[in-house]
Structures are given as C-alpha cells and as structure tokens.
Amino acid sequence: MIKLVPPVVQIALDYPTIEEALEMARIGVEAGVDWLEIGTPLITCQGLDPIGAMARSFPDHPVLADYKTMDSGFKNVERTHAQGGHIMTVCANAPDETVQSAAARGREMGIYVVTDTIGVKDQGARARQCEAWGVDMIYLHYGADQWRADATQDSTQWIDEVRQAVSLPIGVGTFGVEDAVRAVRKGVEAVTIGHPLLGADDPLRALREYVQEVKANHRPRGS
C-alpha cells in the first residue's frame, strides 16, 4: 500500500494514446507532480496497457487507474495490481456491494482505493458510508460536463461537508491554481489537475506554478 504524504499533486492524463500520456507524464514529473493518473479516456481507448507502461516508465511515482468503476470493483483492483499500478477508483454512486468489494480486495492486494463522488447528491452521507466500508480516500469530483454547464461551481463546494463527515484523506478535482489553493488551504490531502491547465501554451511552466502554489498553501487538517 502506498504512503500518502500531503499535499499530493495528481496529474490526470486524459489522452487517447499512450504516447501522449507518457509525454505529458514526463512534463508533470519534471514539474514536481506526485501521482500519475491513467485517465478514463485513456483506459477507454487503450485498455489496461497504459497502466503497466506508466508504472514501468516512472517506477518512483504511484500510478492511479481511473476506471470510474460502477460494477465488479474487486476485478478492477486485481487488474490494477496485475499491471503494476498502485491506486484505483470506484464511483461512490456505484452499488454498495461494488464499493465494498473494491475496498475489501484493495486491502487484500495492497491497492489504494479512491472513491470518486461524481454525481453524488448527498456527499457527506455517502462519504461516511464509504469510509465505513474501508475505502482509503474520498475524492470530490465536480465533473467536466457539470463545469461546462455551470463554471461558477467546482469541487471545493463540498469540502466542509465531507470534512465533517469523515476522517479519511480527501482528494479534490480542480480546474486550475485558484480552486487548488482554496482546497489545500482547507486541509485536503490531494488535488488533481488535468485539462484545461494541461492545454496551456507552456504546460511545464503552468504545472510548475500549480505545484508550487499547492505546496506553499497547504494547511494540514485541523491546523
């Protein structure tokens, strides 16, 4: 099982090809990111191979497989392990049994299980249930479609509610430096960045700024 050392910066590699993902991962590592996410679009396009390719290319960086699992949670834990990955995601909106099976198999195999709250209506209550079932992190996720429909909101809207509900580490999906800084100042342990920041003219510079601001502004929970 990986050891989480806050604040973790995760880069979402939402590309259609392994080559594009590896190139952006190299830029991310140079910029100082901590975790490398095999994004859902990459898994959709390329299957499981990118997990192994990323783990072999960057052996010092934990690799997360973002399946957004809705069924057979234990199977995606096993697939992650077989490819040399370290972390997987299961949707909090999945059936109870799916979250439970992912958490249980994750403990058995040493895979860190992140529960993604995309689409959850009662974030605090569902986070509390997931914690009771043994997941390792609650990941607050205001999705890309939601953001396109209403860019006045982001994932930070649920931090206070979920902090009161659970003692687990909390991750937050972000769209840029501003919401990332708000998140880490509230004590969240991990933030994720992907598009639109990765589409900047100079992604290395943009990522370096993001990492520096996150590290400089993090406040441990309860401080």
pTM to 2 decimals?
A: 0.97
DSSP string, 111-124: -EEEEE-TT-SSHH
What is the band of 195 on the pLDDT scale with cuts at 50, 70, 90? confident
Q: With bands split at pLDDT 50, 70 and 90, how would you rate the model's confidence at 9?
A: very high
Render pLDDT for 85-126 as a digit per residue (tens, 0 to 9).
Answer: 999 999 999 999 999 999 999 999 999 999 999 999 999 999
Q: What's the mean pLDDT in 170-190?
A: 98
The mean of the pLDDT values for the chain is 97
pLDDT at 2: 87
* Distance in Å from the first CA to the final CA of the chain: 27
Residue 182, both tokens: 């708000």
What is the mean pLDDT of the segment spanning 60-88? 98
| pLDDT tier for residue 30 given thresholds of 50, 70 and 90 | very high
Using the predicted structure, report yes or no on whether residue 71 has a pLDDT greater than 80. yes
Distance set, CA 83 to CA 30, 43, 50, 58, 190 (Å):
24, 13, 9, 13, 23
Listed in sequence order, the residues at least 6 apart from 40 whose beta carbon sits closer than 8 Å to its beta carbon are: 14, 66, 67, 68
Give the pLDDT of residue 46. Answer: 98
Q: Is the pLDDT of residue 5 over 90?
A: yes
How far is C-alpha 61 from the geometric centre of its chain's CA atoms?
A: 14
CATH number for 8-217: choose from 3.20.20.70, 3.40.50.720, 3.40.50.620, 1.20.58.110.
3.20.20.70
- pLDDT tier at 193 (50, 70, 90 boundaries)? very high
pLDDT at residue 67 greater than cutoff 80:
yes
Distance CA 54, CA 29 (A): 12
Query: If DSSP states are collapsed to H, E and C, what string results for 155-192?
Result: HHHHHHHHHHHCCCCEEEEECCHHHHHHHHHCCCCEEE
Domain boundaries, the chain: 8-217
User: Which percentage of the chain shows pLDDT scores above 90?
Assistant: 95
The confidence score (pLDDT) of residue 118 equals 97
Least Cα distance to 115 among 175, 67, 154 occurs for: 67
